[in-house]
Amino acid sequence: MIEPPRDALRSATRDAHAMVDEAFGRFDLAEDASYRAFLTAHARIVPSVEAWLDAHQPVDMQPWTLVRRWPALSADLAELGIEPPTPVPFALSGDIASVCGVTYVLEGSRMGGALLSRRVASGLPAAYLGAPSQVALWRGFFASLDEHLPTQEAIDRACDAALRTFDAFHAAGVPATNA
């Protein structure tokens, strides 16, 4: 019997998710310089991942353009007078399973951002972390996984894409934490 895609993604990415949480958890969001470094680290990867999704996400998984977070992140950086860094490249095969894996990570990040936004010091811009949670879209995405990932092979490809996305976020966060 095939494990439900949602459960498979959660299980397969548990350790990678914890590694990213640890890397980004080192930032003190209540402290100006640390928060700036946090946003800069996200700016290394978010635009690349969102651009990849824009190029590969099928219409039935929309409205992706309504939930992009790069505009809010870019606005926060601008308000702080920070020039966005050059984004790191992000490329995977453009199949629907990979789209599901990448979306799982990126939209999960939005849910986590809502929790992190409470730690941002008063007076610092927080549009990126404070982006409203799209619970209805998140539920709709999970509901579509059975349709988009009907085989174990598709689930495995989604899990691989999710792991590679977590790796990209981790790589974006680690240099900034070591600076």
Q: Looking at 57-123, list the stretches that DSSP marks H as alpha helix, in order from N- to C-terminal side.
A: 70-79, 96-116
Which amino acid is it at 75?
A: A
Predicted confidence (pLDDT) per residue in 75-122, tens digit: 999 999 999 999 999 999 999 999 999 999 988 888 788 788 999 999
Which amino acid is it at 118?
A: R
The owner of tokens 């990678």 is: 16
pTM of the model: 0.92
Predicted confidence (pLDDT) per residue in 154-178, tens digit: 999 999 999 999 999 999 998 655 5
